[in-house]
Chain A
Amino acid sequence: MKIVLVGHGMVGHKFLEALRQLQFPAADVTVLGEEPRTAYDRVHLSDFFAGKTAEDLSLVEPGFFADTGFDLRLNSRAAAIDRRAKTVTTQDGVTLSYDKLVLATGSYPFVPPVKGSDRGQCFVYRTIEDLEAMKEASAISRKGVVVGGGLLGLECAKALRDLGLETHVVEFAPRLMAVQVDDDGGRILRSKIEALGVQVHTERNTLEITDGRQARHRMVFADGSHLETDMIVFSAGIRPRDELARQNALAVGARGGIAIDDQCRTSDPDIYAIGECAAWRDQTFGLVAPGYEMARIAARQLAGEAGAVFAGADMSTKLKLMGVDVASIGDAHGRTPGCRSFRYTDECKQIYKKIVVSADGKHLLGAVLVGNADEYGTLLQMALNGIALPEAPEFLILPAGDGKARPGLGAHELPDSAQICSCNNVSKEQICTAVAEGATSIGEIKACTQAGATCGGCVPLVTQIMKAEMAKLGMAVTDHLCEHFPHSRQELYHLVRVGGIRSFDELLARHGRGLGCDICKPTAASIFASCWNDFVLKGELASLQDSNDYFLGNIQKDGSYSVVPRMPGGEVTPDGLIAVAQVAKKYGLYTKITGGQRVDLFGARVEQLPLIWEELIAAGFESGHAYGKSLRTVKSCVGSTWCRYGVQDSVGLAVELENRYKGLRAPHKIKFGVSGCTRECAEAQGKDVGIIATERGWNLYVCGNGGMKPRHAELIASDLDKTALVRLIDRFLMFYIRTADRLQRTSTWRDNLEGGLDYLKAVLIDDSLGIGDELERQMQHVVDTYQCEWKTAVTDPGVRRRFRSFVNDPQPDARIVFVEERGQIRPARADERVPALAATAELST
């Protein structure tokens, strides 16, 4: 079957993914994409200005087209359809024949018919090309206006703000997000948005755009007022791209859009339409979830599943606009006859919540949440599944008082068929099945069901269902560290600190049972180190350390170790580099530059480690703690010392901070970054602690992460001097060490922190728990008792003699074998190691 897909946007690509998943072998698929690039995530378009690249936003996994054999043609706009001949012709004159044609042409931004809207520096907000043009214009602009205060308009305002412009939003309606939010919610939303530095002008009807006096443009409004600006972005809604349908006499919806039936077929049974270009029962859908559903339906129809039908879509939404939670569910405006509502407004914290219930008070019809949308998952499920409301439904949105738990929606109350993730259409039943098949973390659930993998709004509910199912199946869901301690890591930390406990035997005797294991021993060792900071290989402590900490190196797949000397701030002298190089050469080590701006030396056998370190120490190096759950590096850019843009000495600060916190043991590794100006060359916002120089001092960001799940760090204080900065970092790190779970990076810790960023700021900056001094004192103790572990290890004969491959033979481990690749060593693969293996052949007498 020859299938031609017109349009390679989010929905078009989902259709291709669905075809692949159905393993539809007879499909010969050609894809025409108008844009110069493959499908990307338009939902997160504004991230482009927050540092994401077009590649980051891409939705196409590498090798997708090569693997599927789908023929992708970019820069190819479909210009005409010949329904009788069943062909499509592109604007370049290429004609393709089809058996089935799928239109996923999307929509175009609506520009109101305002005189002057075609002037230069006026933009729309839809494609990466639009964004690139906006970015270019922003460089020569000071002020920007977004026309349209809807969902997309506010996203766009965030983009302008991220570009550093004075940002205004002009809206025709009396409130922001008029479709999703009511008047009271709109008021709170407006004040929150304005507090973020965006000026909002509602009830403004733009009549004309003319030359400005102070700026490039002047927007003249119907009420006689005006606003001057350097650039304008129109984001006043979207319109379906249905021109191909109109040219070919396909039926269209009453308000535009290509009319489709429940099978996603147009009035020509060989032509399908999906996504924003389609009108189902005269309704078009500007959200991605219904488009994805249509894509799946169309693919299944083509694969012969007659039973696959589109049954409409829930238009509930939850999003974060410039850090402000906004959510809207079902009948948000209370238009159902006889319905009644409950409202809660907190003007201090700027929170608004409303629920709309049925006339008999038994069912939830809709909701609006602004400022805090924690209840979204519960309320959505109640509305979608018609679950009976509790007796006093107002408590669903009122803040919990006196520590009483909110009447939540137990996961067990949801029917198996309840759709939990609307983006990827995942039911409760699918999540439970995944748990039964062994997925017991949110990451595994995402990987095998896709639940929560698109917008992430349902993650709390998915987690709740996962835990409930695990409990049902008898799996442990306590926060106990392991079978030996009926306590969480946080509780153990407290017990150690308060009880002055310094040994594992004492900890086990007082608070645990059994012999310990590979979970609790290193955890205890880390807590002891954070609290008392004794040498990690001293006496009994050595037996608690993971292999990496025991040998003070990172174990590699073949049992050899890597060696990383500390280079604070990434600064190293030529002599230092020569010394490192000489050691590497002498011991035949593989060398690689790390992401943390230092040098990693691989391939050292245990008995070589003390010799290598003796030489490195003699050359002035210290342990880099690359093996520890501890401070790794403080990455820096060269800063004001050399860089023409730098405003502060970032290297100097990085060196100072690395020396202050080196050796600090924590629940997981910690990385810092210091940038000398807002260009952020040190990528500090991807670090646990990120510091960015300003004209007046330093901005402090915390809880960022690169790696598996990138997370931007959040700003907690601005324009700090060095003393204030160090004090805040002391408090932050010690508070993290005190409260985090084992192996929990600061980013996950922050995501799970009750009360979120506001709470963290209150503890660190306002000292709301009254522990600020204590945290600083505890950190100062760690700083004052620092020692280079390698220096201690090589000078202690008792410790040093443990570094050998065999207790009864000085020979090296012959199983560690290297071969050469690109001029350096690498571990031999099993087949290359055969001669060496023969030497230690299995005994078979």
Chain B
Amino acid sequence: MSTKKPRWTAVCKIGDILPGTGVCALVEDHHVAVFRLGEDGFYAIDNIDPRSGASVLSRGLIGNLGEHLVVASPLYKNHFDLRTGACLEAPEHSVRAHRVQVRGEAVFVSLSTLS
């Protein structure tokens, strides 16, 4: 993680994300999947599915597998941890997780840098 001060980008209003689903936001030219789990759990990971190269992870179904909060890729159904971006089935296909903040009605995302 960078030690620089995080840059926050406002991506949408809370109401733009139906509870239990995700959206894709453009953050500094990056495709970021932002999920809303239940009413007030917000998570962000890369939107690009490493296995297919398609920008689709925000369109996956979310829920939990054991301890992990996950999204299932809509293409090949592999699961990504919403908090860490780790791919549970194939760690080499893991993605990055990004920070999310809700201020008032607005949802903000701050990209994590490559480690």
Which residues of A are at the interface with B, using a C-beta cutoff of 8 A?
Answer: 483-484, 514-518, 520-522, 540, 542-544, 546-548, 550-551, 555, 557-559, 802, 805-809, 811, 813, 815-816, 830, 833, 839-845
Contact = CB atoms under 8 A, between A and B. Distances in A.
Given A544-B61, A807-B34, A809-B25, 14 more contacts: A483-B66, A515-B63, A517-B61, A517-B63, A517-B65, A518-B79, A521-B63, A547-B60, A558-B52, A807-B25, A808-B10, A840-B30, A844-B114, A845-B113
29 contacts: A483-B65, A483-B66, A515-B63, A517-B61, A522-B61, A543-B20, A544-B20, A544-B61, A547-B56, A547-B59, A558-B52, A558-B54, A559-B52, A559-B59, A559-B75, A805-B55, A806-B31, A807-B11, A808-B26, A811-B26, A815-B54, A816-B54, A839-B29, A840-B30, A842-B114, A843-B29, A844-B113, A844-B114, A845-B113
A715 B30 CA distance: 57
A210 to B, nearest CB: 70
Interface residues of B, number: 46
A559 B24 CA distance: 12
A550 B59 CA distance: 8
Contacts of A555: 56, 59, 74-75
Residue among A515, A520, A544 facing the most chain B CB atoms (10 A cut-off): A515
B12 interface: yes
B18 A542 contact: yes
Nearest to A525: B61
Interface string B57-100: 00111111110011010110101000000000000000000000
A126 to B, nearest CB: 48
A815 B48 CA distance: 10
Contact of A808 (B11, B64, B75): B11
A802 B19 CA distance: 13
Nearest to B52: A557
B45 interface: no
Contacts of A843: 28-30, 111, 113-114
B25 A515 contact: no
A555 B77 CA distance: 13
B21 interface: yes
B19 A543 contact: yes
Contacts of B21: 542-543, 550
Contacts of A830: 53
Given A515-B37, A547-B60, A845-B113, A805 B24 contact: yes
A518 to B, nearest CB: 4
A840 B24 CA distance: 14
B17 interface: yes
B75 A845 contact: no
B29 A517 contact: no
A417 to B, nearest CB: 35
A256 B20 CA distance: 75
A815 B55 contact: yes
Nearest to B76: A557
Nearest to B24: A806
B115 to A, nearest CB: 11
A517 B72 contact: yes
A815 B30 contact: no
Contacts of A811: 26
Contacts of B30: 840, 843
Nearest to A805: B24
Contacts of B111: 843
A833 B48 CA distance: 14
Contacts of B4: 845
B77 A806 contact: no
A671 to B, nearest CB: 23
A547 B113 CA distance: 29
A559 B61 contact: no
A697 to B, nearest CB: 44
B80 to A, nearest CB: 11
B16 interface: yes
B63 A518 contact: yes
Nearest to A545: B61
Contact of B12 (A522, A544, A807): A807
B81 to A, nearest CB: 13
Residue among B4, B61, B70, B72 facing the most chain A CB atoms (10 A cut-off): B61
B29 A840 contact: yes
Residue among A483, A514, A520, A815 facing the most chain B CB atoms (10 A cut-off): A815
A518 B113 contact: no
A546 B56 CA distance: 12
B12 to A, nearest CB: 4
Contacts of A558: 52-54
Nearest to B9: A808
A474 B92 CA distance: 26
Nearest to A517: B63
Nearest to A539: B18
Residue among A520, A547, A811 facing the most chain B CB atoms (10 A cut-off): A547
Contacts of A547: 56, 59-61, 74
Contacts of A815: 31, 48, 53-55
B55 A546 contact: no
A813 B30 CA distance: 11
A603 to B, nearest CB: 13
Contact of A813 (B23, B25, B55): B55
A334 B75 CA distance: 59
A543 B55 contact: no
Given A518-B77, A557-B54, A807 B29 contact: no
A514 B69 CA distance: 10
Contacts of B24: 805-807, 813
A521 B23 CA distance: 18
Nearest to A811: B26
Contacts of A557: 52, 54, 75
A731 to B, nearest CB: 32
Q: 4 smallest A-B Cβ distances: which pairs?
A: A543-B20, A547-B74, A518-B72, A559-B54
Interface in B24-51: 24-26, 28-31, 34, 37-38, 48
Contact of A514 (B17, B29, B52, B63): B63
Contacts of A833: 53
A451 B44 CA distance: 46
A809 B26 contact: yes
A514 B54 contact: no
B64 A515 contact: yes
